[in-house]
Structure 1
């Protein structure tokens, strides 16, 4: 067993709309939570190389590995080449079936080993650790497989390789020659159902592979984007789709927890929940590409939330719409490369973030404007309540987009999105002839705009600032130039972009801010902020710079096209939770901005 941590970029992602798994280049599944994204991890080696569970299929001797997704899908294929031959391991979670969307399809990973040439000794290591490695597995051998039991859950493993219990794991080896096809199937479920999950034949597995390949190709076939960087955009769309919780339409910020923003530091957070801000922005990006079903499903989910919350939306939820858990540490896990603490839950659940009203209004209204259809009266009633909340509370201090853990302040970003939400609500109500407190919305929209321009802009420094209270430069003001509150080529926007480049950018990679935020250590550059810079440059007509920086950011993606929350400007390594929805929505929006600037030769609002 290896007891070391690979770079975060070593991992690929598979999933199926209920959970996801990280597959390392060496054939090891090192992260998987079942039955949902936010469930306790069963494989968590990425957070503790000694205690964390994994499931590895790879040659028993030295090898070279190359990998790719099978076309425009989320099926991952890794080829291992040794001195004696080559094998391919194909990994997938079976896709949902549209003929029974409500079905709780098995929580399952399928792994196909194929002999490509020569002869290779395959090694199988199976080591599940239930409940974040707090429950040791109890193994029972079965014909054609084995069952690993936790307290009230089990993993059933179908395997053609004879396994022996050695220490804490099941181990086995088998020689694979050219033409061989070996299926390994691991299924999660209640202990009472474990025996039944062993009844999976190679024919069943092959059908699931074919269905899953067809599912992803049919889904991505809806993409209508034909502009520059299309391959990167398609991969990003496929990543974002994996983050959508299929039963409800909720969307997780990332499928992982506690991958650090700084190696060895404390900036380790749990992103396996639905932030309404993130969800609105991500689904807006998908809709711009032609994917409408995800937006409508999210709107349905949001409408259900509105009934429960009476228009007073929280910052973050579980994927099923219940409140996200409060934050706690798991001190028994050492963390990725000794970065502690490992956290589950998120303290943002206790925060006030007023921008959420505007973010949701913006996403939902733009959805209906792009795809004209009659809005449900109950949904419009919810949106009017959100607009009323934005109008009533835009002057409230909050923690801002970065969820600062100090005292609340008047963040310019928050004010901006209150303006955006009110502006969209006014426009939609007037265009569609809908009722609402439009006159009050107009008064407050104008008031918040005046406040932003008078109190949020520093004429001496020639930049919009982080808050009304301080003069710090913060990348969260870059959306000012993307919102429509000012013409995109306004001098205040141009000078703000230049100040961000001077103070926060390392050759296009942008830090969120430069001041002390009260936490030990420091962030790396924030991927979404770097793409915000690209979008602004494209709208300002500086297309050459926009493309150069876009290429630089994308050059830090791993070989599969996946990006994390942050990028270390010096080493180039990926940091933070991975892959992150914000990063990939940023890529999509930046590519669209470049395409628009290239097409028109000018900026548009």
Structure 2
């Protein structure tokens, strides 16, 4: 890719790569700028956030000081990033990663837990090149005062007791009170290692061992070993494996929780206000992600998540919230950061998420479906966890008639969303199967009766004969792509005429340039959004189940063409420009890609994933 003479202030979302250590993650643009980093964990305040304000957000750039071309890739099946730069006088490579040892993951009671390190290695490949360094942290999303001190070994940025220490082999100069900079040259055969080390206690800054070769070797070994456990052997294996690696980056190793995405407030529409914080653990997203990982041989993540979930549910006595922080905290107050301009002027920037207080009845179904999906390869639910699951099934049975905010977390009037009713049916259906298979105590007669009642209501109140489709909610004519899940959960076969006509109507009324939107009716918020990637993969799955495999594969190819050169995907695609929009990389999209690839493989008769157990973490 060739850079323009005058770069825009904001990079395209697709221009970013992700690195991480299963505690937090960083996003790095192709110009060598680290523009997003929350530490010590995903939902901590950002230290660099120039993605959300190019002037006030802070960055750590090691990049060329002249016109260049760049090619980039992950080192085979790992999350170690390399970017190779060519300038007029030479070529060099930048390697970025967050060290992660093969040893067991650190837990919160380990004194090393809150240390986070990013290692950036520059290697001269040919000739000689000039590079620039800009080190400008902005603690707490730019709200905290940052003090910069240039040291013989680099630079130390502080706020309160927390610090970021940049160990630099290149002398740095102060650039104002809160940043440091440098220019240097790299020749063929030379190698320079830059360490960025975060700690909440500035007295502890000598703790981290400076052994770049060991850190790189251990990190490569860790990711290669993990990737090798992928049991999927069908078409698109590299793509599936990369999506699995992304989902692994979204897991929080110390707790077992899984986040939806590592960013906040990347817009669904440039300049719009549909900007949300996704750095938390949604019960829905996590349940679907672990099913995708299980389908490709990664069982340990499921064990870890269910351990987290069991502890959470037992602690809260089954009173399940739709999302939590990675350590299980229920409090996610939403706050507007009005001092930040937002990505390309998309305001407001939000941290926290008020949707945590919403009623979304679908989570009962997604959770019980995940338990059922994983049941065969995992241990049976512990007695106390089965009590919680039974309680959740009872909640689905008792509350399915209530209106709610639905899967899309609409911030308007509650409605009787079809998807929520469908997932209450799923909750009871899977709970019945679990109880029958495990001979677990349950009120099966009542559950079966309620399951039948929900089914009847969906078929009579959820299907509009005049429209020829299942609708978004009972009593309205608006379409919603979530109706595409009806055959995916086994409610009706894909060949059912009502399913076929629903698919046809969604493709006709909710599509643009061949890409599907979630819905197009008013939802109480100004502005719009792009096509939702997850819904497009649902369409693929529907066509596969209906036997239209060739067309399903064509649509799958169209969807994946919107990924960037690193095979990373955001939440949404602009059907007209192809631009990636929304938080990034997005767990929903990557799990759906995996599921559709698995479904296509099964339908074409190609080798399918093995269902054996994998070894430990």
Q: TM-score range by the shorter chain?
A: over 0.9
Q: Does 1:583 align with 2:586?
A: no
| 2:424 alignment partner, SS class | helix
User: What is the DSSP-based 3-state SS (H/G/I as helix, E as strand, rest coil) of the residue aligned with 1:13?
Assistant: strand
CA–CA distance in structure 2, aligned partners of residues 600 and 419 of structure 1: 33
How far apart, CA to CA, are the structure 2 residues paired with 1:542 and 1:222? 31
Q: Aligned equivalents of 1:407 and 1:124: distance in 2?
A: 50
For 1:501, the equivalent position in structure 2 comes to 507
- Tell me whether 1:89 sits opposite 2:94 in the alignment: yes
CA RMSD of aligned residues (A): 1.5
Shift of 1:124: 1.3
- Distance, in Å, in 2 between the alignment partners of 1:503 and 1:562 is 28
Once the two structures are TM-superposed, the CA of residue 143 in structure 1 deviates from its matched residue by: 2.7
Match of 1:266 among 230, 248, 273: 273
Matched, 1:534 2:540: yes
Residue 22 of structure 2 is aligned to residue 17 of structure 1: yes
Q: Deviations over 1:209-244 (max 9, x none)?
A: 110111011011111101111111111100011001
Match of 2:160 among 139, 151, 155: 151
For the Cα contact (< 8 Å) 2:403–2:415, is it kept in 1?
Answer: yes
Q: Does 1:363 align with 2:373?
A: no
State the shift of 1:3 in Å.
6.4
1:249 paired with 2:256, answer: yes
The answer on 1:179 being equivalent to 2:184 is: no
What is the alpha-carbon distance in structure 2 between the residues aligned to residue 481 and residue 443 of structure 1?
Answer: 21
Residue-pair matches, total: 597
Structure 1, 149-158 or 42-51: larger mean CA deviation: 149-158
Contact kept, 8 Å, 1:556 with 1:567, in 2: the verdict is yes
Contact 1:354 1:394 in 2 (8 A): yes
Of 208, 213, 227, which residue of structure 1 is paired with 2:234? 227
CA contact (8 A) 1:149 1:191 kept: no
SS across alignment from 1:47: coil
**Does the CA-based 8 Å contact 1:261-1:575 persist in structure 2?**
yes
Shift of 1:600: 8.6
Contact persistence 2:152–2:171 (CA under 8 A): no
Gaps of 5+ in 2: 1-5, 608-617
Q: Is 1:345 the counterpart of 2:352 in the alignment?
A: yes
* Residue 179 (structure 2) aligns with: 169
Of stretches 171-180 and 15-24 in structure 1, the one that deviates more from structure 2 is: 171-180
- Return the alpha-carbon distance in structure 2 between the equivalents of residues 290 and 522 of structure 1: 38
Label 1:151 to 1:292 Cα distance change in 2 as closer, same or farther (>3 A).
Answer: same
Q: 1:100 to 1:140 in 2, by over 3 A?
A: same
Query: 1:120 maps to which residue?
Result: 129
TM-score, length-scaled by structure 2:
0.95
Alpha-carbon distance, 1:184 to partner = 0.3
1:56 maps to what in 2? Answer: 61
Counterpart contact for 1:261–1:576, Cα < 8 Å? yes
Q: Is the 8 A contact 2:119 2:212 kept in 1?
A: yes
Q: Which residue of the partner structure matches residue 382 of structure 1?
A: 388
Supply the distance in 2 between the matched residues of 1:194 and 1:52 (Cα, whole angstroms).
26
Secondary structure at the counterpart of residue 605 of structure 2: helix
Partners of 2:20 and 2:331 lie apart in 1 by 22
Deviation at 1:374, TM superposition (A): 3.6
Aligned match of 1:196: 206
Q: Distance in 1 between matches of 2:331 and 2:263?
A: 15
In structure 1, distance between residues paired with 2:36 and 2:220 = 22
Tell me the equivalent position of 2:615: none
Give the direction of change, closer, same or farther, for the CA distance of 1:324–1:238 in structure 2 (3 Å limit).
Answer: farther
Report which stretch shifted further, 132-141 or 411-420: 132-141
Matches within 5 A, 1:500-579: 500-579=506-585
* SS across alignment from 2:135: strand
- Helix, strand or coil: the match of 1:22? strand
Equivalent residues of 1:162, 1:173 under 8 A apart: no
Structure 2 residue corresponding to 1:433, chosen from 423, 427, 439 = 439
Deviation at 1:97, TM superposition (A): 3.8
1:41 to 6, 26, 46: 46
Partners of 2:303 and 2:378 within 8 A in 1: no
Deviations along 1:521-548, one digit per CA (max 9) or x if unpaired, are 1111001001110110111111111111
Q: Distance in 2 between the 1:124 and 1:467 partners?
A: 54
Q: CA deviation at 1:6?
A: 1.2
Per-residue CA deviations over 1:370-401 (Å, capped at 9, x if unaligned) read: x0534321121111111111111111110011
Secondary structure of the residue that 1:436 maps to in structure 2? coil
8 Å contact from structure 2 (residues 234, 606) kept in 1? no
Supply the distance in 2 between the matched residues of 1:72 and 1:600 (Cα, whole angstroms).
22
Is the alpha carbon distance of 1:368 and 1:540 closer, same or farther for their aligned partners in structure 2, counting shifts above 3 Å? same
- Distance in 2, matches of 1:225 and 1:272, equals 28
Q: In 2, Cα distance between the equivalents of 1:171 and 1:600?
A: 54
Higher mean alpha-carbon deviation, 185-194 vs 238-247, is at 185-194
Which of 125, 132, 141 aligns to 2:141? It is 132
**Structure 1 CA distance, aligned partners of 2:205 and 2:80?**
27
TM-score by length of 1: 0.96
Report the Cα distance in structure 1 between the residues aligned to 2:248 and 2:331, rounded to whole angstroms.
21
After superposition, where does 1:300-449 map in structure 2 within 5 Å? Answer: 300-369=307-376, 371-449=377-455
Q: Equivalent residue for 1:110?
A: 119
Task: For residue 129 of structure 1, report the CA deviation from its aligned partner.
Answer: 0.5
Equivalent pair of 2:487/2:494 in contact (CA under 8 Å): yes
CA offset digits 1:392-433 (Å, max 9, x no partner): 111111001101111111111001111111111111111221
- 1:469-522 Cα deviation digits (max 9, x unpaired): 211110011100211111221111111111110011224311011111121111
Residue 508 of structure 1 contacts residue 553 of structure 1 at CA under 8 Å; is this kept in 2? no
Name which of structure 1's ranges 326-335 and 505-514 shifts more when overlaid on structure 2. Answer: 505-514
The separation in 1 between residues aligned to 2:579 and 2:205, in whole angstroms, is 43
